């Protein structure tokens, strides 16, 4: 089964894309990349789910290649059973070793189960694993900034203490997105020093670069950066 999926990945290899990805994700050794584009990974995921082969694949951890981890993330993002997906996400997260695989996980089933998801997010953001914490913040950004928004979630992110670049970049992304959607609720966190200065500066930078933040709000942000 493993060899079959590796054959599918190798058959879709793109050397230029491999080189491009290895530059974007410098903490992963170049030899760990095959060079498979996301649309092809989605097609492979769809096929192995349909055939039932995905179970053997996701049970076979750790994976050797970056694209295997990406495929794993795509499979978990597609499956419809919340209890199964959350169990497999928790099993997979300790093996996630880069921002791209972390961000690739976007389980469709989470949108309809935010009440069940929240307790897991609370646990993830306290994890010792960098990309587990990042994934927790990512989930708060994806699923709890619209209808499910509550200002208490801002505190959950602001209270994270980390020296990890990929954690704090996600926190900055969360705050920048929050400024676009709930400016009045997020602004005090930037004005009062409730978040560390590094994350604060990058959140403002991202907000100023965003088309979703209105010009009037950008003027306020320029005055406090």
Q: What are the tens digits of pLDDT across the range 194-212? A: 899 999 999 999 999 999 9
* 79-119 pLDDT tens trace: 999 999 999 999 999 999 999 999 999 999 999 999 999 99
Burial of 81 (0-12, 13-18, 19+ CB in 10 A): exposed
Question: What is the model's pLDDT at position 123?
Answer: 98
Spatial separation of the C-alpha atoms in residues 73 and 106, rounded to whole Å: 8
Mean pLDDT value across the chain: 96
Question: What is the model's pLDDT at position 2?
Answer: 61
Question: What is the model's pLDDT at position 1?
Answer: 55
- Could you give the percent of the chain with pLDDT greater than 90? 96
Q: How confident is the model at residue 225 (pLDDT cuts 50, 70, 90)?
A: confident
The length of the chain in residues reads 225
Mean pLDDT of 5-34: 95
Question: What is the model's pLDDT at position 132?
Answer: 98
Q: How confident is the model at residue 137 (pLDDT cuts 50, 70, 90)?
A: very high
The b-or-e profile of 138-170 (16+ CB within 10 A means b, else e) is bbbbbbbbeeebeeebbebbbebebeeebbbbb
Q: What angle do CA 165, 137, 146 make, to 5 degrees?
A: 135
Mean pLDDT of 41-61: 95
Mean pLDDT of 45-64: 94
- Could you give the percent of the chain with pLDDT greater than 70? 99
Mean pLDDT of 109-138: 97
Answer yes or no: are the C-beta atoms of 125 and 160 closer than 8 Å: yes
Nearest to 4 by CA among 60, 57, 65: 57
């Amino acid at each position: 089964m493993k060899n079959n999926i590796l054959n599918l990945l190798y058959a879709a290899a793109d050397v230029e894309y491999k080189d491009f990805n290895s530059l974007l994700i410098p903490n992963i050794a170049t030899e760990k990349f095959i060079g498979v584009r996301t649309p092809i990974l989605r097609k492979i995921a769809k096929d192995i789910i349909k055939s039932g082969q995905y179970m053997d694949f996701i049970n076979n951890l750790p994976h050797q290649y970056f694209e295997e981890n990406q495929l794993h993330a795509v499979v978990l993002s597609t499956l419809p059973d919340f209890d199964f997906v959350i169990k497999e996400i928790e099993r997979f997260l300790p093996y996630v070793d880069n921002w791209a695989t972390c961000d690739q996980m976007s389980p469709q089933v989470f949108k309809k189960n935010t009440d069940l998801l929240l307790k897991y997010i609370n646990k993830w953001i306290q994890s010792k694993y960098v990309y587990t914490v990042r994934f927790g913040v990512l989930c708060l950004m994806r699923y709890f900034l619209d209808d499910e928004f509550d200002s208490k979630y801002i505190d959950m992110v602001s209270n994270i203490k980390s020296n990890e670049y990929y954690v704090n970049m996600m926190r900055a992304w969360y705050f920048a997105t929050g400024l676009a959607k709930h400016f009045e609720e997020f602004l005090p966190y930037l004005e009062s020093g409730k978040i560390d200065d590094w994350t604060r500066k990058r959140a403002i930078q991202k907000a100023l670069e965003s088309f979703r933040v209105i010009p009037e709000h950008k003027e306020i942000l320029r005055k406090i950066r």
